[in-house]
Amino acid sequence: MKNFIQKSVLLAVMVFGVMVSYAQIERSSEAVKYADESHQVFQVVEQAARFPGGFDKMNKFLSDNIKYPEKARKDNVQGRVMLSFIIETDGSISDVKVLRGIGKECDAEAVRVIKSMPKWEPAKNKGKKVRQEFVLPVTFSLQDK
């Protein structure tokens, strides 16, 4: 009986040891996954991503390219669509998401225009190009005539 108890305790200790080791391997693989900054997405960077020509050119691009959806115009839908997207290390845009929308048509139009943007100047950390998450409001406003 004493031998059985010793074997049971030893087995329990071994199983616990394997579980602890597995948990440490899982954590260390997460650290390795993010140690390579080329895949990490930053929100705060040393040098932010920049639309070609700067902020004013981006506003001009948005105003020139947004087509107010007819149904939204007819229904008097107005407001601000909040979008997030990633500026990749080559300046391209990926992973466009609506964070807060105002209606299906306007949300889709805002996503379409963001996806059609030219390549940006990518963000940099320590002199290396990095991926950056960007949040941008796109305003839909009807002017009285």
The pLDDT-based confidence of 134 (bands split at 50, 70, 90) is: very high
Q: Average pLDDT over the chain, rounded to whole?
A: 81
Q: What is the pTM of this model?
A: 0.72
Q: Residue 133 forms beta bridges with which residues?
A: 86
CA–CA separation, 1 and 54 (whole Å): 79
Q: Does domain 41-140 have CATH number 3.30.2420?
A: yes
Domain boundaries in the chain? Answer: 1-35, 41-140
For the cut 70, the answer to whether the pLDDT of residue 73 exceeds it is yes
pLDDT digits (tens, 9 = 90+) for 9-55: 333 333 333 333 333 333 333 333 444 556 899 999 999 999 999 99
Using the structure block, give the residue that is written with the tokens 């930053």: 42
Phi, psi of 128 (to 5 degrees): -105, 140
Looking at 23-27, 72-76, 130-134, which range is the least confident one?
23-27
Three-state secondary-structure class, residue 126: coil
The pLDDT-based confidence of 90 (bands split at 50, 70, 90) is: very high
